[in-house]
């Protein structure tokens, strides 16, 4: 289901709207992962995209109170995303391919 990334990306709006319709904003947030995940402004095979890639399309529901507790335990939590991309850029496609864990390009 939702194998096409464009279809998946459009569906994220539906998921976010459902959270809003159920008045769960501030309680839940949707994190997204897809085998062909692509950040805006990147090329399809940019290694930074691999931080949000998964073998299958995934909508991960996060409880905001859990996120808040994590931020309390790790105040620089906002930097995790940037560090993940930095790590992927250092690793590069060659290093990623050696790990044999990611979806095929």
- Domain count for the chain: 1
Domain holding 89, by residue range, is 5-99
In a domain, 53, yes or no: yes
> Is 104 part of a structural domain of the chain?
no
DSSP for 35-85 reads: TT---TTS-TT-GGGGGG--SS-EEEEEEHHHHHHHHHHSTTTHHHHHHHH
- Per the domain annotation, does 105 fall within a domain? no
Residue 32 to residue 58: CA distance in whole angstroms: 6
pLDDT digits (tens, 9 = 90+) for 32-85: 999 999 999 999 999 999 999 999 999 999 999 998 888 888 878 778 888 989
Structure confidence at residue 101 (pLDDT): 67
């Amino acid at each position: 289901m939702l194998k096409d990334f464009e279809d998946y990306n459009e569906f994220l709006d539906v998921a976010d709207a459902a959270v809003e319709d159920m008045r769960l904003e501030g309680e839940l947030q949707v994190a997204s992962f897809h085998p062909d995940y692509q950040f805006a402004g990147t090329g399809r095979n940019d290694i930074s995209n691999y931080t949000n890639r998964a073998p299958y399309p995934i909508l991960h529901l996060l409880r905001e109170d859990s996120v808040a507790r994590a931020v309390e335990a790790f105040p620089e939590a906002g930097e995790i995303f940037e560090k993940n991309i930095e790590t992927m850029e250092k690793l590069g496609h060659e290093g990623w391919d050696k790990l044999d864990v990611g979806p095929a390009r």
